[in-house]
Structure 1
Amino acid sequence: MSEAGNIHFNNEDAHCKEFAKVLNGRVNDYFKSKGISKYGNGEMYFKTVFMLSLFFAPFVAIIYFEPAGWAALGLAILMGIGMAGIGLGIMHDGNHGSYSKHKWVNNLMGYTLNLVGANAMNWKIQHNVKHHTYTNIEDHDEDIEPKAILRFSPATPLKKVHKYQYLYVWFFYSLGTFFWVTIKDFAKITRYKKEGILYKNVKSVLTEYIILIGTKMIYFSWIIGIPVFLTSYTGGEIFLGFFVMHLAAGLGVGVIFQPAHLLPEVEYPEPDENGKMKYSRFVHQLYTSVNFANKSKLVTWYGGGLNFQIEHHLFPHICHVHYSSIAPIVIETAREFNIPYHAKEGFFETMMEHTKMLKWLGTPDSQLVEA
Structure 2
Amino acid sequence: MEKLIKPTFKKAPADDFFKRMQKEVHDTILKNPRIQTGNIIKSIFLLVGYLSSYACILLFGNTTSLLFIFYILSGFFMIVLFVNAFHDAAHNAVFKNPVHNKWFTYILEVFGSNSFIWKKRHLVLHHPYANIQHWDIDIKQSDLVRIFPSSKYFNYHKYQHIYMWFIYPLYTINWLFIRDFKDFFGTNDNYIKRVVKIPKIEYVKLFACKLFNITYLIIIPILVLQQPWYMILLAWLVMHLSGSALGVVALLSTHVDEHAHFPMPPEDGQMQTTWAEHQMRVTKDFSADSKLANFLFGGFTHHVAHHLFPSVAHTYYPYITQVIRRYAQEYDLPYHCYPFWKAVHSHFRLLKNNGSEGNLFKTGEL
Structure 1 length-normalised TM:
0.88
For 2:306, give the aligned amino acid.
H
* Partner in structure 2 of residue 310 of structure 1: 304
* Partner in structure 2 of residue 328 of structure 1: 322
Pairwise CA distance, 1:123: 0.9
Is 2:135–2:191's contact at 8 Å kept on the other side of the alignment? no
Pairwise CA distance, 1:82: 0.8
Is 2:62–2:226's contact at 8 Å kept on the other side of the alignment? no
Please tell me whether residue 360 in structure 1 is matched to residue 353 in structure 2: yes
Amino-acid identity (%): 27
Matches within 5 A, 1:95-134: 95-134=90-129
Please tell me whether residue 79 in structure 1 is matched to residue 77 in structure 2: no
Pairwise CA distance, 1:309: 0.9
Please tell me whether residue 210 in structure 1 is matched to residue 204 in structure 2: yes
What's the C-alpha RMSD, in Å, of the aligned pairs?
2.5
Task: Give the secondary-structure state (helix, strand or coil) at the position aligned to 2:278.
Answer: helix
- Alignment CA distance shift 1:335-1:38 (3 Å): farther
For 2:24, give the aligned amino acid.
R
Indicate which of 17, 26, 31 corresponds to 1:28: 26
Is 2:252–2:343's contact at 8 Å kept on the other side of the alignment? no
Please tell me whether residue 237 in structure 1 is matched to residue 231 in structure 2: yes
Task: Give the secondary-structure state (helix, strand or coil) at the position aligned to 2:276.
Answer: helix
Indicate which of 285, 295, 303 corresponds to 2:289: 295
Which runs of 5 or more structure 1 residues have no equivalent in the other structure? Answer: none
Is 2:250–2:301's contact at 8 Å kept on the other side of the alignment? yes
Is 1:155–1:368's contact at 8 Å kept on the other side of the alignment? no
For 1:228, give the aligned amino acid.
I
Is 1:265–1:342's contact at 8 Å kept on the other side of the alignment? no
Range that drifts further, 234-243 or 185-194: 185-194
Which runs of 5 or more structure 2 residues have no equivalent in the other structure? Answer: none
Cα deviations by residue, 1:244-275 (Å, 9 ceiling, x for unpaired): 11112222221112221111332111222212
* Partner in structure 2 of residue 255 of structure 1: 249
* Partner in structure 1 of residue 177 of structure 2: 182
* Partner in structure 1 of residue 37 of structure 2: 41
Pairwise CA distance, 1:68: 4.4
The separation in 1 between residues aligned to 2:109 and 2:346, in whole angstroms, is 33
The separation in 1 between residues aligned to 2:101 and 2:350, in whole angstroms, is 35
- Alignment CA distance shift 1:193-1:341 (3 Å): closer
Matches within 5 A, 1:215-226: 215-226=209-220
The separation in 1 between residues aligned to 2:207 and 2:112, in whole angstroms, is 10
* Partner in structure 2 of residue 171 of structure 1: 166
* Partner in structure 2 of residue 198 of structure 1: 196
Please tell me whether residue 12 in structure 1 is matched to residue 5 in structure 2: no
Task: Give the secondary-structure state (helix, strand or coil) at the position aligned to 2:263.
Answer: coil
The separation in 2 between residues aligned to 1:7 and 1:368, in whole angstroms, is 24
Pairwise CA distance, 1:112: 1.2
Pairwise CA distance, 1:187: 2.3
Task: Give the secondary-structure state (helix, strand or coil) at the position aligned to 1:270.
Answer: coil
Range that drifts further, 253-262 or 184-193: 184-193
For 2:239, give the aligned amino acid.
M
Task: Give the secondary-structure state (helix, strand or coil) at the position aligned to 2:273.
Answer: coil
For 2:5, give the aligned amino acid.
N
Is 1:31–1:38's contact at 8 Å kept on the other side of the alignment? no
Pairwise CA distance, 1:70: 4.2
Is 1:39–1:99's contact at 8 Å kept on the other side of the alignment? no
* Partner in structure 2 of residue 276 of structure 1: 270
The separation in 2 between residues aligned to 1:193 and 1:343, in whole angstroms, is 31
The separation in 2 between residues aligned to 1:194 and 1:103, in whole angstroms, is 24
Is 2:62–2:225's contact at 8 Å kept on the other side of the alignment? no
Indicate which of 342, 351, 360 corresponds to 1:349: 342
Is 1:39–1:318's contact at 8 Å kept on the other side of the alignment? no
The separation in 2 between residues aligned to 1:147 and 1:329, in whole angstroms, is 36
Structure 2 length-normalised TM:
0.89
For 1:25, give the aligned amino acid.
K
The separation in 2 between residues aligned to 1:113 and 1:353, in whole angstroms, is 30
The separation in 1 between residues aligned to 2:157 and 2:242, in whole angstroms, is 24
- Alignment CA distance shift 1:196-1:274 (3 Å): closer
The separation in 2 between residues aligned to 1:187 and 1:351, in whole angstroms, is 27
